[in-house]
Amino acid sequence: MRLNPHGTVLATAPEAPAAAVFSAQSECELGLLQDDDFQARLLDGVSRTFALTIPRLPPALAGPVSNAYLLCRIVDTIEDEVSLDSARKRRFCRRFAEVVAGRGDSVSLAADLAPLLSTNTLPAEHELIAVMPRVIGITHAFDTATRAALSTCVNTMADGMAEFQDRDLSGGLANLQEMNDYCYYVAGVVGEMLTKLFCLYSPEIAAHRDEMMRLAVSFGQGLQMTNILKDLWDDHDRGVCWLPGDMFREAGFDLRSLRPGNTDAAFRSTFSRLIGVAHQHLKNALAYTLLIPPGEAGMREFCLWALGMALLTLRKINAHLDFVESSQVKITRRAVKATVLTSRFARGHDALLRAIFFVAGRGLPDADPALARLSSKEDRTENQSL
């Protein structure tokens, strides 16, 4: 999400000429592709990372997971669109959730939304909105249980992200619980959805469903917290801060006074505590991954690549607490390649994976495991009803 502090329009952007972002020739080329190739082409435009990792999944999972990511990216595109105020974003997100659930018309939604997208939105995202009806057609061709998993994820994400639209985020979130909530809406729900798909695919995985659903939320939070810490100064430039304000105030630091090049000891000590919390979530992510049968090599690699890159990013952040832009703590292509090769070599050996994770995380702060003990959406709903 690229929110401004008050959820208002960041800029008045003119309508982008259609030819500049999505040509008739491009649409024709996409139309000739089979569904799997069509989704792979779209993924390559909106997320190179997922375009590389999703093909590691078994074919029966790769299609639904590709579609799920595209659906989530549509929600994110609406939320990030600078030409829409918060009220219109909510209406479009609600319409899209209804379309995914099979209660709305994707053609009219795409026709209404596409002309409003500004040049701030990536050309690949313009393309994604333009071909939304076919993406939805693929969604609706899945079996009932798969469609339900995707629809629940989109519905929760659309409603949850809207909660942060009208906030003044220049001074951070209120507390760690709010940070948990934000991470849940943008990443935890995706982990839950993936777990549901994994369980539908494998009865052996389904035997651990309850435990994996809880760990999936933590997995998502670990990845999202790593991004939040890495993007601290990029977000700061936009007047946004996703850090929990209460933790810093308790240490004697006000996030509203945060500036690049900050050397305040109270800020750094609290920032290190958050690195520890993210580290603890990634420990839970490893536990999640090890519940996937060793024989499911592709599924393990899908998880391990994300986990490994997040852990290496945390190491780099921890070693450069004086960083002032995300590029300074971004891992190298060599590190990415090493993650891929190590995951491929060790994927079937639980003890070896634990040892590699321990060595890679050595020197990172630790946190009270209770800070990373999150419940699934189902658990939360059940607890609220008691």
- Based on the number of CB atoms within 10 Å of its own CB, is 263 exposed (0-12), middle (13-18) or buried (19 or more)? exposed
Q: Which domains does the chain have, with CATH numbers?
A: 1-14+21-154+161-168 (1.10.600.10), 170-386 (1.10.600.10)
**Which has more confidence, 7 or 243?**
243
| Vertex 268 angle, CA 266 and 271, to 5° | 110
Check: CB of residue 150 under 8 Å from CB of residue 67: yes
Residue 181: how many other CB atoms lie within 10 Å? 17
The residue to which tokens 């690195």 are assigned: 275
pLDDT tens per residue, range 192-202: 999 999 999 99
Position 383 scores a pLDDT of 40
pLDDT, tens digit (0-9, with 9 covering 90-100), for 6-53:
332 233 333 334 334 455 556 677 778 899 999 999 999 998 788 889
Q: How far is residue 240's CA from residue 234's CA, in Å, rounded to a whole number?
A: 9
42-56 as b/e: b if 16+ CB within 10 A:
bbebbbeebbebbeb
370 has pLDDT over 80: no
pLDDT of the residue at 187:
95
Q: What is the pLDDT of residue 234?
A: 92
What is the pTM assigned to this prediction?
Answer: 0.88
Mean pLDDT check: name the lowest of 49-58, 189-198, 377-386.
377-386
Q: Alpha helix (H) ranges present in 231-319? A: 232-237, 245-250, 265-290, 297-319
pLDDT in the model for residue 17 = 42
Predicted confidence band of residue 376 (pLDDT cuts 50, 70, 90): low
The mean predicted confidence, pLDDT, of the chain is: 89
pLDDT, average across residues 68-91: 94
* Residue listed under structure tokens 């500049």: 20
Mean pLDDT of 319-340: 94
Please report where in the chains the tokens 């990845």 appear, as a residue. 223
pLDDT digits 0-9 by tens, 125-171: 999 999 999 999 999 999 999 999 999 999 999 999 888 887 889 89
- Give residue 91's pLDDT: 95
- DSSP letter string over 29-62? HHHTS-HHHHHHHHHHHH-HHHHHHGGGS-HHHH
Q: Is the pLDDT of residue 334 over 80?
A: yes
For the segment 261-293, what is each residue's pLDDT rounded down to a tens digit? Answer: 888 999 999 999 999 999 999 999 999 999 999
Residue 253: is its pLDDT beyond 90? Answer: yes
